[in-house]
Structure 1
Amino acid sequence: MKAVPLAVRILLAALLAGVGSTFAQSSAKLATGLAAVRVPEGFKVELAAGPDLAPYAMFAALDDRGRLFLAESSGKNIRGLAMSQTPECRI
């Protein structure tokens, strides 16, 4: 009987583990939105800017005073010169 190479055994184990976790996730109802975010006790999660305010939100950052800055895209897939001629993105 020919031995199976170690790399093949590792790959097979990884694939089987992935399939198992996929079935486990699909059988349980997964939380979505704010309910999916878990924080330590004493903290709370609040919606600061929903899709009605920033439909194409890309990045967010807090400054040293705790203010939230949100960078938004226009939702269009344009590049370089065309984007600079018609800037629609905002912060």
Structure 2
Amino acid sequence: MYLSIGGDMAVRDRTLIGIFDLDNTTCSRDTRAFLTAAEQGGQVVDVSGALPKSFLLTEEFGMDRVYLTQFNAGILEKRMEQKENTIHV
């Protein structure tokens, strides 16, 4: 299954490691360092089209990728839950 993350982009749900709220997580020095290193390493994909509200961390084919999206983390988590409920019904 795929999760739509905006900007005509979708990620495979099985590659998803985590969904993180930018306002809450960037308070941490470690998270800021991680995002800076990911950006310098060319691993960041900005699909927000505006000010990003959350980021997703994925791993596929041995490569980490960070997607910046305009949706808040709660919306993306609800989308994942809806997909899981649809599959198991």
How would you bin the TM-score normalised by the shorter chain?
A: under 0.3
Q: Which has the higher contact order (CA 8 A, sep 6+)?
A: 2
Larger radius of gyration, structure 1 or 2?
Answer: 1
Higher strand share: 2
The TM-score with structure 2 as length reference comes to 0.22
Higher helix share: 2
